[in-house]
């Protein structure tokens, strides 16, 4: 089965894990700190806070920037549910925004503008599929309205500039991401004081961690804020340090495969729309395509599975999920709904070869032909 995504793990990761086991210190320590610093350097920032998931990163970013009860946060509906969930964790209310178009499935600034109210406190822009939203447009939008700007950069690890648009950003290292620690995430923030607050919140709001107390030979600490158990461990940080070294090459390989997809799909499946035809900075995280409006997506997915090609969907619109449909009154998001109805995610990962892309395009054409 050709999978939609597949992590690359090998001897270096095994050795890194073995080193952690041998040293005996498995909670937050030197490797977590080294990973934070290396990730920050890779993305052109001064520091980072490693946590146990991108969801935790989003939650901490919101609370660290003062978003809370009574506030509204503009969020895309074309995203994983964690983006909206994190807003509820902070006690705020998500307001769902449509995408720009089927060709550019990023959050619509026109719809965001229309849905701003006196309660709007923040915006979470999501770099869908790893394609960066427009930096200057969103920064100007947020600044002109006095809004907090947060990037959901779960799909965008390794793209220079990702995480530096506004006030904070959250990255994911889940098993299907461009680099992985199995579970894990990172927060970047423009303000050092905000980042320091987030660092304290990730460990129960304690003023010192276990390693720091060992180094200072003092067992005492204080708790000066409400915090959470969002820490990353040494084992995952050790994997992250190895993965980060390969991220640039892996993203380059994803770009090559994506370009081949564009060529082959235009030849074999001219009735299939491929988003992001206009070049923009990207991590090429997933390969979304839009099927013809008359196509039976379930049937096509079944035919591709019979050909041992996995496909999936990114994403069911969050506003259409039962929990949010019953909780949040939302007008129709026509572009998001049409995109989600017709979207199909094809395999894309660095283990693939060019002939895999050719095979997927050919099998998709065969499935569409009936």
Domains of the chain: total: 2
Which pLDDT tens digit goes with each residue over 218-269?
A: 788 999 999 999 999 999 999 999 999 999 999 999 999 999 999 999 999 9
Reported as a pLDDT band with limits 50, 70 and 90, residue 45 is: very high
Instruction: Kindly report the pTM of this predicted structure.
Output: 0.96
* Catalytic position from the list 115, 177, 245, 351: 177
User: How many beta carbons lie within 10 A of that of residue 120, not counting itself?
Assistant: 19
Mean pLDDT along residues 354-363: 98
Asked if residue 327 is part of any domain, the answer here is yes
Q: Is the pLDDT of residue 327 over 90?
A: no
pLDDT recorded at residue 330 = 66
Question: How far does Cα 287 stand from its chain's mean position?
Answer: 15
| From 63-72, 213-222, 304-313, the region with the lowest mean pLDDT | 213-222
Encoded tokens for 16: 């890194």
Are residues 115 and 250 located together in one domain of the fold? no
Are residues 347 and 261 located together in one domain of the fold? yes
Mean pLDDT along residues 164-178: 96
Question: Comparing C-alpha atoms, which of 8, 30, 35 is closest to residue 20?
Answer: 30
Q: Is the pLDDT of residue 14 over 80?
A: yes
Instruction: Report d(CA 98, CA 109) in Å as an integer.
Output: 9
Question: Comparing C-alpha atoms, which of 292, 301, 329, 281 is closest to residue 162?
Answer: 281
Encoded tokens for 33: 């700190």
Asked if residue 293 is part of any domain, the answer here is yes
Instruction: Report d(CA 51, CA 86) in Å as an integer.
Output: 14
Cβ-contact 202, 86 below 8 angstroms: no
Encoded tokens for 284: 């090429």
Which SS3 state, helix, strand or coil, does residue 216 take? helix
Q: What percent of the chain has pLDDT over 70?
A: 99
- Active site includes 177? yes
Reported as a pLDDT band with limits 50, 70 and 90, residue 24 is: very high
Which pLDDT tens digit goes with each residue over 85-140?
A: 999 999 999 999 999 999 999 999 999 999 999 999 999 999 999 999 999 999 99
User: Structural domain of residue 277, as residue ranges?
Assistant: 246-369
Are residues 250 and 234 located together in one domain of the fold? no
Cβ-contact 168, 151 below 8 angstroms: yes
Asked if residue 199 is part of any domain, the answer here is yes
Encoded tokens for 220: 């005492």
CB proximity list for 227: less than 8 A, separation 6 or greater = 200, 201, 202, 203, 204, 205, 206
Last residue of one domain, picked from the residues 215, 242, 269: 242
Which pLDDT tens digit goes with each residue over 174-221?
A: 999 999 999 999 999 999 999 999 999 999 999 988 777 777 777 889
Are residues 142 and 216 located together in one domain of the fold? yes
Are residues 292 and 226 located together in one domain of the fold? no
Helices and strands, counts by H and E, the chain: 13, 9
Q: What is the CATH number of the domain that holds 62?
A: 3.40.640.10
């Amino acid at each position: 089965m050709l999978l939609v995504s597949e992590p690359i793990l090998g001897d270096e990761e095994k050795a890194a894990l073995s080193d952690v086991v041998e040293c005996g210190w498995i909670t937050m320590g030197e490797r977590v700190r080294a990973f934070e610093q290396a990730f920050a350097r890779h993305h052109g920032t001064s520091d980072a806070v490693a946590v146990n998931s991108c969801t935790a990163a989003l939650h901490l970013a919101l609370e660290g920037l003062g978003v809370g009860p009574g506030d509204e946060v503009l969020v895309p509906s074309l995203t994983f549910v964690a983006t909206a969930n994190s807003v509820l964790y902070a006690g705020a209310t998500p307001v769902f925004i449509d995408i720009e178009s089927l060709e550019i499935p990023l959050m619509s600034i026109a719809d965001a503008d229309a849905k701003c109210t006196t309660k709007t406190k923040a915006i979470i822009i999501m770099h869908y599929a790893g394609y960066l939203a427009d930096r200057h447009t969103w920064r100007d939008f947020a600044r002109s309205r006095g809004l907090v700007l947060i990037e959901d950069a779960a799909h965008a690890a390794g793209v220079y500039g990702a995480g530096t648009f506004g006030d904070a950003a959250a990255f994911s290292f889940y098993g299907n991401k461009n680099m992985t620690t199995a579970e894990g995430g990172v927060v970047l923030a423009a303000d050092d004081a905000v980042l320091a607050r987030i660092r304290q919140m990730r460990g129960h709001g304690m003023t010192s961690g276990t390693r720091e107390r060992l180094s200072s030979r003092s067992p005492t600490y204080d708790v000066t804020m409400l915090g959470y158990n969002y820490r990353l461990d040494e084992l995952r940080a050790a994997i992250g340090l190895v993965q980060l070294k390969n991220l640039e090459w892996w993203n380059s390989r994803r770009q090559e495969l994506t370009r081949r997809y564009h060529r082959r799909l235009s030849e074999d499946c001219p009735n299939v729309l491929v988003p992001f035809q206009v070049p923009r900075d990207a991590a090429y995280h997933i390969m979304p395509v839009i099927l013809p409006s008359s196509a039976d997506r379930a049937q096509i997915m079944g035919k591709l599975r019979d050909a041992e090609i996995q496909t999936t969907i990114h994403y069911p619109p969050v506003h259409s999920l039962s929990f949010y449909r019953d909780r949040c009154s939302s007008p129709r998001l026509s572009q998001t709904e049409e995109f989600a109805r017709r979207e199909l995610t094809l395999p894309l990962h660095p283990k693939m070869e060019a002939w895999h892309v050719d095979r997927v395009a050919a099998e998709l054409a065969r499935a569409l032909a009936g």
